[in-house]
Amino acid sequence: GLLTRLQTSAPTERTLSSSNSFSQNVSSCLWKLGRLNHVAIAVPDLEKAQSLYKDVLGAQVSETVALPEHGVYTVFVELGNTKLELLHPLGEKSPIASFLQKNKTGGMHHICIEVDDIKAAMTELKKKKIRILSEEPKIGAHGKPVIFLHPKDCHGVLVELEQA
């Protein structure tokens, strides 16, 4: 019967082709992408969000830090291989306030990827017609230079690049 066939059938193993077609499409850049630094989540209630990750899920959660030049409060949740950044509005002109007006319960705001040379990345991305949301890098939550790439140029995702 069917059970016998399921028990005796050999497991199927799929492997990805190691063709060079993908690596041949990657241009030689003067800068390199690094690891995923964090995924940022806008939250309407920072204390509740902190409590979820700390008290319910048992994660290591940082203290709240105000970043007035970015218009946000941030909290980092350590995950071992990366972090979550909880974002809450700081002031009425906060970009997170406008995000939360459209997304009342919060949600993913951006991803942050490390780069080895943020200035070279900016130069090359501008040449490739990728819009950068500031003329110069700003100092981000980790005390390092950051830039944001326009979501319409990144398939609907706000991408933050951070100097490694």
Q: What is the CATH number for 78?
A: 3.10.180.10
Residue 3 lies in a domain: no
Task: Tell me which of 2 and 137 has the higher pLDDT.
Answer: 137
Count of domains forming the chain:
1
Residue 15 lies in a domain: no
What is the per-residue pLDDT across 69-116, written as a single tens digit (0 to 9) for each?
A: 899 999 999 999 999 999 999 988 899 999 999 999 999 999 999 999
Task: Tell me which of 30 and 105 has the higher pLDDT.
Answer: 105
The pLDDT value given to residue 92: 80
Please give the share of the chain, as a percent, with pLDDT higher than 70.
83
The pLDDT value given to residue 25: 54
Amino acid at 18: S
Residue 100 lies in a domain: yes
Residue 130 lies in a domain: yes
- The residue ranges of DSSP E strands in the chain, in sequence order, are 33-42, 60-61, 65-67, 72-78, 83-89, 107-115, 138-139, 145-149, 159-163
The pLDDT value given to residue 19: 46
pLDDT band (50, 70, 90) for residue 27: low
Query: Structure tokens of 131?
Result: 């819009």
Residue 109 lies in a domain: yes
d(CA 68, CA 163): 20
**Prediction pTM value:** 0.81
By residue range, what is the domain housing residue 151? Answer: 33-163
